[in-house]
């Protein structure tokens, strides 16, 4: 059982980690990284007046699958008087908040407010998707920093009924059938492979994978486990210093991004 003031977060390429750390610093709260939680660790206790926060990226206009599985096991004991979610997304969150609300309600947790930050794009797994150009990346980060400071005031004051999010067009369609297709067909490590002539066996890809889906890496070419754990977060792809990881043919000549990456 954990006793602490709590922010649960997930992050692959670092956008959400950046936001979660600022939030935790300003609120004096503790961060819990969801991939580090095992089934046995899902029972938490809150003191009266403590906030419960979820800081998450949007995956396919929905909460990431691994986060949804974590919530299925989550038990919060004590009084919860304020729960919020802060999303990061490349452009729109669709009905991710409504889906999270439903998942939390099944655990007896009410979600009071939702916020979203538009951050640099991490998804490159479809032919028409690539990372943002550098100017757009910088502009998104600058705006996100301003918005985050505004959101923190609401969260600090436990403002209820706030929905400062960007849902985008036809949110029910994107979070519904399109999101369903995304989960069924596009969350997979099957297309990942390494271009041997570019791989220097540094091990970075395996180190950064949030779910340990990569065997080898250091001293040995990486191999993906194909065991259903991959989140298609592309963190391995983005961190490879030699762009040696490809996703089928869909990432050829595409850019790489992670929060804090220095542009060459
Ligand atoms: C698998 C996957 C699915 C994504 N789906 C969406 C989406 O539906 N809408 C959106 O605006 N951005 C989407 N993105 C972009 C991310 O939400 C965005 O880049 C986020 O800030 C990444 O967070 P992270 O760096 O903490 O992992 C997606 C990214 C990935 C990797
Ligand atoms: S990060 Fe790139 S170069 Fe390093 S082991 Fe992985 S694939 Fe090879
Ligand atoms: S294998 Fe790559 S894409 Fe899959 S979860 Fe790990 S880092 Fe993310």
CA of 79 to the centre of ligand 1 (A): 32
Residue 66 in contact with ligand 3 by CB distance below 6 A: no
Higher pLDDT, 241 or 37: 241
pLDDT value, residue 14: 98
pLDDT value, residue 5: 56
Q: What is the pLDDT of residues 166-179, one digit of tens each?
A: 999 999 999 999 99
Work out the average pLDDT over 88-109. Answer: 97
Write out the H or E segment, with its range, that includes residue 21. helix 15-27
Which residues have CB under 8 Å from 24's CB, separation 6+?
7, 30, 31
Pick the atom of ligand 1 nearest to 92's CA.
11
Residue 213 in contact with ligand 3 by CB distance below 6 A: yes
Computed over every residue of the chain, the mean pLDDT equals 94
Work out the average pLDDT over 34-54. Answer: 85
Work out the average pLDDT over 54-72. Answer: 96
Residue 61 in contact with ligand 1 by CB distance below 6 A: yes
pLDDT value, residue 250: 95
pLDDT value, residue 2: 47
Q: What is the pLDDT of residues 248-263, one digit of tens each?
A: 999 999 999 999 988 7
Confidence bin at 44 (pLDDT 50/70/90):
confident
Q: Are 24 and 31 in contact (CB under 8 A)?
A: yes
pLDDT value, residue 192: 98
pLDDT value, residue 264: 66
Residue 95 in contact with ligand 1 by CB distance below 6 A: no
Residue 236 dihedral angles phi and psi, to the nearest 5°: -60, -50
CA of 14 to the centre of ligand 1 (A): 11
Q: Looking at the predicted structure, is the pLDDT value of residue 245 above 80? A: yes
**Ligand sitting nearest the alpha carbon of 214:** 3
DSSP structural state of residue 40: G
Residue 230 in contact with ligand 3 by CB distance below 6 A: yes
Confidence bin at 3 (pLDDT 50/70/90):
very low
The DSSP result for 220-258, as a single string, is S--EE--SS------HHHHH-TT--EEETTTTTT-----
Work out the average pLDDT over 13-22. Answer: 98
Pocket test for ligand 1, best of 10, 123, 186, 208 (most atoms within 8 A of CB): 123
Q: Looking at the predicted structure, is the pLDDT value of residue 158 above 70? A: yes
**Ligand sitting nearest the alpha carbon of 234:** 3
In whole angstroms, give the CA distance from residue 63 to residue 175. 10
Three-state SS at 165: coil
Work out the average pLDDT over 34-47. Answer: 82
Residue 104 in contact with ligand 2 by CB distance below 6 A: no
Residue 183 in contact with ligand 2 by CB distance below 6 A: no
For tokens 């100017």, name the residue.
Answer: 135
Confidence bin at 1 (pLDDT 50/70/90):
very low
Share of the chain above pLDDT 70, in %: 97
């Amino acid at each position: 059982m954990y006793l602490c003031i709590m922010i649960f977060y997930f992050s692959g390429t670092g956008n959400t980690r950046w936001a979660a750390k600022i939030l935790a610093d300003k609120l004096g709260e503790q961060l819990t990284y969801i991939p580090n939680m095992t089934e046995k660790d899902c029972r938490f206790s809150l003191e009266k007046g403590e906030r419960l926060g979820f800081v998450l990226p949007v995956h396919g206009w929905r909460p990431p699958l691994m986060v949804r599985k974590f919530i299925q096991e989550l038990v919060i004991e004590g009084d919860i008087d304020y729960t919020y979610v802060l999303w990061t997304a490349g452009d729109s969150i669709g009905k991710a908040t409504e889906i999270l609300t439903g998942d939390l309600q099944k655990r007896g947790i009410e979600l009071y407010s939702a916020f979203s930050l538009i951050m640099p794009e991490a998804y490159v797994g479809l032919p028409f998707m690539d990372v943002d150009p550098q100017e757009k990346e910088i502009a998104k980060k600058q705006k996100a920093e301003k918005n985050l400071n505004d959101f923190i005031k609401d969260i600090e004051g436990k403002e209820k009924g706030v929905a400062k999010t960007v849902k985008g067009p036809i949110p029910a369609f994107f979070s519904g059938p399109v999101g369903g297709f995304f989960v069924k067909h596009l969350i997979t490590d099957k297309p990942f492979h390494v271009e041997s002539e570019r791989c220097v066996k540094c091990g970075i890809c395996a180190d950064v994978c949030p779910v340990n889906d990569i065997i080898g890496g250091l001293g040995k070419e990486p191999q993906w486990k194909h065991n259903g754990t991959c989140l298609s977060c592309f963190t391995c792809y983005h961190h490879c210093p030699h762009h040696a990881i490809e996703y089928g043919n869909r990432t050829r000549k595409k850019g790489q991004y992670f929060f804090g990456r220095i542009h060459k």
